[in-house]
Amino acid sequence: MARKTERCLCWAAAIAVSAVVVVIAARALAAGREVETPAFTVIDLPGGAAGIGFDDLQYSPRLHRVLAPAGRTGKLALVDPVSRAVSIVGGFSASDHFDGGHDFGITSVADTGTELAVTDRTRRELLLVDSEHAAITARTALASGPDYVRWIAPTRELWVTEPDAERIEVFSLEPLKHSAAIAVPGGPESLVIDTAHGRAYTHLWKGKTVAIDLRTHAVAPPIANGCEASRGIEVDPPHEFVFAGCADGKLAVVSGDRVISSITPVRGMDIIAWSSAKRHVYLAGSQSADVAIIGVSGRGELTPLGKAVGAQGGHCVTTDDAGHAFVCDPRGGRLIAVDDRY
């Protein structure tokens, strides 16, 4: 949960990013290869015109929908990645005023396989949602302010990161209730689940990453991740790579206990997204107002493939793993869909 000021997407930013894309294309053509500039589409969200303090975007393969907790609007938006149609679930904390931050209302979501779990920062609640009937089915209090919620399928648990308390709060289902807490001193920032190896990964704020056993909740010793300030995290289970997004815009690949490669393609970064099908990482430049597409080889080598228009302050991104990335535009109260044809 990086605390950054979010600014509007403007034509100046778009022109600046377009200029960068032109330079990249020119250099590529000089080197004898063609580069296709990624196309993008703007998706307006209901009630978003005054701005939305986005934080976490996710994609649900079960529902075939991008899941966008729309902050102060009091709505959870479900976006069809192909038609770009939007449906909503309401009933969460709402406000008519956008304060420029992302600490109000619902800001994180996870799919349990039957329902959606949503965290409400304003009410400090964890809620379950029946998306088919657009209804809230259960809710419970959180012990501290939430950041991200993630579903742990092997143990049927929901984990909620609580950075102010330096812990992960664990909840069981049926009924929804607190069951445990995992201490993460110096963190936790971001959370990703590797069910293949029975581990979760989270960052410490100051340049380290820890693995957590999904069943015992044991926390392994931290390893350096190449960041001065850790932010987004993703994992490539087949190669056991952990991707660390850094606040300054650097992406690092961690294998075992060392960083094997890194690249800095954007300025300002928080959440990152990984496409296992395409082996691409998507990085949203919150300061550079762009979206970088980075290819990852089986050896962990990083190759910049292209850039598209993003948004000032747009620090969150997700992918449907089928050639589309979705970036938040806080001031515009919308999403930017980027087509990845690389």
pLDDT digit string (tens) for 44-95?
A: 999 999 999 999 999 999 999 999 999 999 999 999 999 999 999 999 999 9
Poorest-confidence range of 16-20, 50-54, 181-185?
16-20
Q: What does the block give as tokens for 142?
A: 């959180």
Residue scoring higher pLDDT (180 or 15): 180
Query: Which one-letter amino acid corresponds to residue 202?
Result: T
- Domains of the chain by start residue, with CATH: 11-339 (2.130.10.10)
Asked if the peptide bond before residue 188 counts as cis, ω within 30 degrees of 0, the response is yes
Query: 206 pLDDT exceeds 70?
Result: yes
Q: Which residues contact 125 (CB under 8 A, 6 or more apart)?
A: 119, 139, 140, 141, 142
Range 101-122 average pLDDT: 96
What is the DSSP-derived secondary structure letter of residue 101? S
The rounded percent of the chain whose pLDDT value lies above 90 is 86
Q: What is the pLDDT of residue 35?
A: 45
Cα–Cα distance measured from residue 181 to residue 159, given in angstroms and rounded to the nearest whole number: 9
Burial 171-204 (b: 16+ CB within 10 A, else e): bebeebeeeebbebebbbbbbbbbeeebbbbbbb
Q: What is the pLDDT of residue 37?
A: 65
Range 322-334 average pLDDT: 97
Cα–Cα distance measured from residue 72 to residue 206, given in angstroms and rounded to the nearest whole number: 30
Q: Is 169 helix (H, G, I), strand (E, B) or coil?
A: strand
Range 180-200 average pLDDT: 98
Range 90-119 average pLDDT: 94
Instruction: Give the pTM.
Output: 0.89
- Angle value at C-alpha 82, between 81 and 85, nearest 5 degrees: 75
Query: 2 pLDDT exceeds 80?
Result: no
Give how far Cα 322 sits from Cα of 59, 278, 338, Å: 11, 8, 11
Cα–Cα distance measured from residue 248 to residue 229, given in angstroms and rounded to the nearest whole number: 8
Query: 36 pLDDT exceeds 80?
Result: no
Q: What is the pLDDT of residue 5?
A: 32
Residue scoring higher pLDDT (268 or 18): 268
Cα–Cα distance measured from residue 201 to residue 233, given in angstroms and rounded to the nearest whole number: 8
Cα–Cα distance measured from residue 244 to residue 154, given in angstroms and rounded to the nearest whole number: 24
**For 268-299, how does the pLDDT look when each residue is reduced to its tens digit (9 = 90+)?**
999 999 999 999 999 999 999 999 999 999 99
Mean pLDDT over all residues of the chain?
90
Q: What is the pLDDT of residue 19?
A: 36
**For 125-172, how does the pLDDT look when each residue is reduced to its tens digit (9 = 90+)?**
999 999 999 999 999 999 999 999 999 999 999 999 999 999 999 999
Q: Quick one: pLDDT band at residue 204, thresholds 50, 70, 90? A: very high
Q: Quick one: pLDDT band at residue 102, thresholds 50, 70, 90? A: confident
Q: Which residues contact 132 (CB under 8 A, 6 or more apart)?
A: none
Range 117-125 average pLDDT: 97
Q: What does the block give as tokens for 238?
A: 């087949």
Q: What is the pLDDT of residue 99?
A: 87
Q: Quick one: pLDDT band at residue 6, thresholds 50, 70, 90? A: very low
Q: How many C-beta atoms surround the C-beta of residue 141 within 10 A?
A: 10
Q: What is the pLDDT of residue 33?
A: 40
Range 231-246 average pLDDT: 98
Query: 191 pLDDT exceeds 70?
Result: yes
Cα–Cα distance measured from residue 124 to residue 140, given in angstroms and rounded to the nearest whole number: 9
Query: 11 pLDDT exceeds 60?
Result: no
Cα–Cα distance measured from residue 75 to residue 68, given in angstroms and rounded to the nearest whole number: 9
Q: Are 121 and 105 in contact (CB under 8 A)?
A: yes
- Angle value at C-alpha 136, between 165 and 100, nearest 5 degrees: 55
Q: Is 323 helix (H, G, I), strand (E, B) or coil?
A: coil
Name which of 291, 290, 199, 285 is nearest 242 in CA terms.
199
